[in-house]
Structure 1
Amino acid sequence: MQLDRASGWFSGVTHCPSPNFNARPLGEAISLLVIHNISLPPACFGTGKVQQFFQNRLDPAEHPYFDSIAHLTVSAHLFVERDGAVTQFVSLLDRAWHAGVSRFDGREGCNDFSIGIELEGTDALAYTDAQYDALVQLSRQIRQQWPAIDLERIQGHSDIAPGRKTDPGPAFDWRRYRAALNEDAV
């Protein structure tokens, strides 16, 4: 997978464009990477429902949980499945609707200046080696293009929306992830 800086799209990944995005505020610099988790239905993997959800095509009649979320218009830039497969929904240059009510470094509205990556998972289930590998590859390329995203500017959804969100949860191995990114500095 390779990031095309001009378009904000990765090649070598699945493209599944979402209507749930808009332009970043004029002159806004990308300076934050937010790690999330999602599975639909909860704790079910490989269903294709995340893709449907981010495209506003989720059928509320298919599962009781879907009825409670089908009205939401949300997206992320990228989604990493359990096997490491990557789907991109929104150009990194655009504002995906992933962070919601959020705050980082004294600023509200993190969607304005962040990139959101969803990992297929739950707060409590360990993520896979393939997911960490893909996440590190994506993160390295993102950081090369936007060097303001240092290790302190990579946060979990729970960090920018405390009390409201818990992902990526205690199952996410921050030490492993940051150590792999730190190898870039050596």
Structure 2
Amino acid sequence: MKRLLASLGAALVLAGCSTSSNDPMAPRTVDNVDLKRYQGTWYEQARLPMFFQRDCVQSEAHYSLKPDGNVAVLNRCLTAEGKWQEAKGTATPQVPGKTDKLWVEFDNWVSTLLPGVTKGDYWVLYLGDNYSTALVGNPDRKYLWLLSRKPQIDQQTRDELLSKAQQQGYDTTRLIWRTPDADMPKGTK
């Protein structure tokens, strides 16, 4: 039941934030994302609060390029109780041939019942050298993820990501930071 409510909540939240914006005040995205280089595992370092991740203390995303050019998405979240929750979906370019702004739609009963209604914005706002870090957000700045290829980042990298997010107009005082591995429940590492 808990998983059902989380899926429904995620679908409704994403539906509410799916607005591809031409607003000049919207965050700026990177010019181009090489999806082959972007695929792989990303570790969430911090995020703005959101309903569908309310129980997460550590999250990671696994992306893989599909033969049709879209991206398979597998998000995993470790709860404070030490249980993994997963959500699968697909990311597709909002504009054919442009890969900086994607739609993400998760596979659940809501997306099956109402196809296209539950897609959410996934805007790549910043990419670090060699695709080592990334900032991902949405046009209305309600959602933001600071991502890294490594589970832990150093202070300099953290400061750089915070600065980039602030330059884009995000409220970084509300960020929820990843719980360090040392603070995790036993048996979850």
Q: State TM-score, norm by structure 2.
A: 0.29
Q: State TM-score, norm by structure 1.
A: 0.29
Query: As a proportion of its length, which structure holds more strand?
Result: 2
